[in-house]
Amino acid sequence: MKMTGSQILLACLEQEGIDTVFGYPGGTVINIYDDLMKSDKIRHILPRHEQAGVHAADGYARATGKVGVAIATSGPGATNTVTGIATAYMDSIPMVVICGQVPTALIGNDAFQEADMIGITRPITKHNYLVRDVKDLARILKQAFYIARTGRPGPVLVDLPKDVQTASTIFEYPDSVDLRGYKPNYSGNARQVAKAIKMILAAKKPVIYVGGGATLSNADKELITFAETIQAPLTTTLMGMASFPKRHPLSLGMLGMHGTYYANMAVTSADLLIAIGARFDDRVTGKISTFAPDAKIIHIDIDPTSIKKNVRVDLPIVGDLKDVLLKMLKQLKEVPDEVETMVVQTTAWRAEVDAMKLSHPMTYTPSKSVIKPQFVIEKLRELTDDDVIVTTEVGQHQMWTAQFFDFTQPRTFLTSGGLGTMGYGLPAALGAQAAFPDRQVIDISGDGSFQMNSQELATLVQNRLPVKIVILNNNFLGMVRQWQQLFFDKRYSQTCLESPIDFVKLADAYGATGFTTSKPEEVEMIIKKAFATPGPVIIEFKISREENVMPMVPAGAGINEMVLAS
């Protein structure tokens, strides 16, 4: 049976089990949208901006573990996806972005709404395709989804010219993919695992350091068992945070620039660092020469190019984290006496770490006259269940959320880590709520970040997605202001948002609900009221204007050189 390219595209999405796509129509994808009306298996959600559509697909992917799908037209529609694609690329999020393109005969002629998306997105995609023949379309889409979800996940772009969409061919969807140059290694080398076990059993001051790979590989249960088996303190990156319960006795919270004192000091004092699905980002390591200076390093990652990229590594293990952790647990189970000896020999180390937790807890100075943002985060956690999905924008509010919201389950904390994309949180919450309509979804935002994609309130209202949006409003671009205060003699150049926004009226204009307060005693009441209100709600808290995120590591300093208070 012959089908057009646009029909083949939708048939491939159905074959891949895609039930939700986020997209914005235009001239070069009009055939796709015409055929989409006939599909009863694919729900389409129309954002108000293509960047937001990609962020929504990203949020959907992070919350579900499935591949997110976004569609955009050619030219400006396609270029508007770039920030969303780069965000997903930096955080290894599986996604397929389908962009319309001018007819193949016009490519390279500066045709109306033409943009070289292959060239533009080459550095920020795991792979990209320009489809020139409808006969190749099904094969390319099969490969695109395979590449996006396997190995180290990431976004794949498919550039689809209009004439390929209208051309016809017999539809055959491949059963499998065999790419000669792409063979992800899932199985950790047994000899390397055995060497790792010897290093672990000999350690006196071990620390486990976990990145986003633990969530991507769904290895949270194995991770908890591994940490409990060897009784090693565990710290996470921003991306790895929800993969290990923050309230666990072995948890050190987040390390790095705005990490906990005890996480940074434990890493600095460790004699063994077990890095699991992390890439030693500069926000984590600080000054490389002082990062874990006395530690031997085991680095486990499915991406061999991430190993030894930023720091020296004594023992690399390439493989899927779940596979490697299961092999390690199996070998540890075979030597129970040695494990018991190791746990005994690290008793003093755990006591030392616990003492640091008591002496330098993550804290702040409460106030009865002004709302402290940390207090709002703590109240949100107190009034929500463990399975609440929290998204954030980027800035001070993101760090306060990481510091004071105790996550206990994987895929419940969605945030832009590597790229640090303001405007990410609201559309990501949209995507997560679309995936889980019956779960509570909260976007924690700053007043600056919120305005990057505030138009997506309309999308929430139209699709009856009851996301609760918490705006911590200090009328500043807070994180930049903090740096200006601490390192530029309070020269607040272009960071003061003096024109106040009436967020309650804004919510009302979009058909949502808004609440606001500046009184600490009203925080709990407003949160409860908002949670009980149907539909999307803005909850604005007018917070202490010059509250800083502390502790922090200044630029160029080591993570053991933390500034504890401003």
How far is 419 from 89, CA to CA, in rounded Å? 9
Contacts of 128 (CB under 8 A, 6+ apart): 117, 118, 121, 122, 156, 157, 158, 159
Q: How far is CA 437 from CA 63, 466, 537, in A?
A: 12, 8, 15
Buried/exposed code over 393-421 (b: 16+ C-beta within 10 A; e: otherwise): bbbbbbbbbbbbbbbeebbbbbbbbbbbb
How far is 507 from 184, CA to CA, in rounded Å? 47
Positive or negative, the CA dihedral 270, 271, 272, 277 is positive
How far is 330 from 438, CA to CA, in rounded Å? 38
DSSP run (H or E) holding 113: none
How far is 322 from 344, CA to CA, in rounded Å? 27
Q: Say which residue the tokens 């434990």 belong to.
A: 266
How far is 447 from 475, CA to CA, in rounded Å? 7
Q: Which residues pair with 97 in a beta bridge?
A: 70, 157
Buried/exposed code over 239-274 (b: 16+ C-beta within 10 A; e: otherwise): bbbbbbbbeeebbbbbbbbbbbbbbbbbbbbbbbbb
Active site residues: 50, 112-113, 162, 479
DSSP per residue, 257-304: TT--HHHHHHHHH-SEEEEES----HHHHBSGGGSSTT-EEEEEES-G
DSSP per residue, 177-191: ---TT-----S--HH
Q: Say which residue the tokens 């808290």 belong to.
A: 541
How far is 324 from 526, CA to CA, in rounded Å? 46
How far is 557 from 94, CA to CA, in rounded Å? 34
Q: How far is CA 67 from CA 132, 185, 342, in A?
A: 24, 20, 41
| Cis peptide preceding 361, ω within 30 of 0 | no
Q: How many CB atoms lie within 10 A of CB 492?
A: 14
Angle between helix axes 523-531 and 373-382 (nearest 10 degrees) is: 50
For the chain, how long is the longest CA-to-CA vector? 72
> Is residue 482 a contact partner of residue 549, using CB atoms and an 8 Å limit?
yes
